[in-house]
Amino acid sequence: MRLGGITRTFINRFKGWDNASRLSFVIAGVLMVALVLFGGNLPDELRQNALIAVAGLFITMQAVFLYANRGMVSALTAAQRQYLTEDFVGARQTLENALENRQRPDFRALTLLGNTYRQLGLSDNSFEILTKAVQAAPHHHFPWYGFGRTLMTLGRYGEAVEAFQRALAEGAPAVAQLDHAEALYRAAAGSEMVLHALAAAEVGDDEPYRALWSAYLRWRITGKNPPSRDLINAGMAYWEAMAERFTHTPYGRSISADLKQLQEIV
């Protein structure tokens, strides 16, 4: 992560701390900076004491940091594990409980909750929560990417394009270009724009569902080289599940139409 990204992430997390933790961290930081700046002008016999004080303040700041993040870190870790095992109901409960009494919600928790709502088919709830997430952390790619995925499920493809562009500008992995390309395709953007996004996407062979969609979009744009039967068989199950999950949305209906196109090849 770039230095600017680390700084922005820290600031966003800092805003979510309780008042006592924020005040303690600031006081310790100010004192440490003052000792570093003016310690060199102290007499030799006092410099050693100043160095010890700087070390003590640094340790204090670390302790405050760990204390301030104690609850959210554990809740996030638990929710992430639940999400990865597709226990979306459990992840929802964990995150809702963690966010319930926080004055300044953590953008990571908001984003994961928004993503969880989307996986549960609650696209409107997802949109509401992810709107708060991008407002809380406008310079982090994580909420923008999730926001783009939710806008896609709602059939708001032009807005999804903008969200993915913002995510990429804020440092999202190159694989997000595939989502960007799909949003461009569904928004009826120019073929050159879609192909440019596909070329920039880094899709590995270990993710056949992504490889299938990349080949499918390229085929639909150019009319050449349809996906192979092996690739379709390897990646089809994922997109069938997506079509079923979002069957009540414009996106789910679009995927169903895409799958019919692929089934004709098989």
Residue 183 lies in a domain: no
Q: CA nearest 167: which of 154, 149, 185, 184?
A: 149
Residue 48 lies in a domain: yes
Q: How far apart are CA 33 and CA 222, in angstroms?
A: 60
Token pair 């929802």 in the structure block, residue: 92
Residue 45 lies in a domain: yes
Domain final residue pick, 68, 97, 129:
68
* Degrees to nearest 5, angle at CA 151 with 147 and 153: 120
Query: Are the beta carbons of 177 and 212 closer than 8 angstroms?
Result: no
Q: What is the mean pLDDT of the chain?
A: 86
Residue 89 lies in a domain: no
Residue 75 lies in a domain: no
Per the structure, the count of domains in the chain is 2
Q: How far apart are CA 23 and CA 55, in angstroms?
A: 19
Residue 104 lies in a domain: no
Query: Residue 215: which domain range?
Result: 208-249
Residue 91 lies in a domain: no
Mean pLDDT, to the nearest integer, of 165-184?
Answer: 96
pLDDT 10s digits, 175-219: 999 999 999 999 999 999 999 999 999 887 789 999 999 999 999
Q: How far apart are CA 89 and CA 131, in angstroms?
A: 21
Residue 179 lies in a domain: no
pLDDT 10s digits, 233-257: 999 999 999 999 999 899 999 999 9
Query: Are the beta carbons of 65 and 25 closer than 8 angstroms?
Result: yes
